[in-house]
Amino acid sequence: MQIPALFSAMPTAVPATVFGTNKLSAIFGTGIAALRYSRSVSVRWNAALPAAITAFIFSYLGALTVGLIPADLMRMLLVPLLIGVAAYTFVKKNLGSIHTPLYAGGKERFLSVGLGAAIGFYDGFFGPGTGSFLVFLFVRYFGFDFLRASAAAKVVNAATNFAALLYFIPSGNIIWQLGLSMAAFNMTGSLLGTRLALRHGTAFVRKIFLLVVSALILKFGYDTFLK
């Protein structure tokens, strides 16, 4: 949601500056959430770490491509993808209710590397919905419940944000005052969100997940097809 808001607030800014400022803010939120989850939830590191490492590399590569792919095209692709995620999650009532990892060992690491590469690249050059996609993929294809999927997603998302900043900071594509101001609120929201998730568990996280995805669909649908 931050990226559309930044585009609206800074209509003359180049996309790289918008993305860089967003990443500066976002890394504080995802970093705090990843730390908080790791202290309270048994994170499936066999899946989270390979995905995070690969996502780190591909997020940097994705950041290098900012501006090469039209943002309007990405928004048009994003809306049907999010609708599909929301519809599948809503129909599958038991999806993510029980933590039953589907894979172990080498196969789990192999799949997590593929997930990290795809999502990392996407987050590096565009980004909206990355957290939601990560949660859905960990639930749907790895068998995690929503709480543990959220924990793994935050680890991976923190890695992608950090990698993208390694490009955006040296290239000067960050508005520091704005990004750090947003970061303070991002950290506050992240602490509150993780506290609620840990207190209320998987069913609560599933509801919030559907709410966030629905909000993204409405926002990007409006920006893409009605504006």
For residue 70, pLDDT over 80 is answered with no
Q: Residue 182 contacts by C-beta under 8 Å, 6 or more apart in sequence?
A: 2, 21, 22, 24, 25
For residue 67, pLDDT over 70 is answered with no
For residue 59, pLDDT over 70 is answered with yes
For residue 71, pLDDT over 70 is answered with no
pLDDT-based confidence at residue 5 (cuts at 50, 70, 90): confident
**pLDDT value of residue 65:** 84
pLDDT-based confidence at residue 1 (cuts at 50, 70, 90): low
Mean pLDDT (whole number) for 45-50: 95
- CB atoms closer than 10 angstroms to residue 226: 6
For residue 108, pLDDT over 90 is answered with yes
Whether 115 contacts 137, CB under 8 Å: yes
Which whole-number Å values give the CA distances from 146 to 62, 120, 155, 183, 196, in the listed order? 27, 20, 14, 25, 13
∠ CA 58-131-47, nearest 5°, is 65
Mean pLDDT (whole number) for 22-46: 92
Mean pLDDT (whole number) for 136-142: 95
Give the percent of the chain with pLDDT over 70: 96
pLDDT-based confidence at residue 66 (cuts at 50, 70, 90): confident
- CB atoms closer than 10 angstroms to residue 11: 7
**pLDDT value of residue 84:** 92
| Spans of all domains in the chain | 16-226
For residue 75, pLDDT over 80 is answered with no
Record the pTM: 0.89
Burial, 107: exposed, middle or buried (Cβ in 10 Å; 0-12, 13-18, 19+)? exposed
- CB atoms closer than 10 angstroms to residue 15: 17
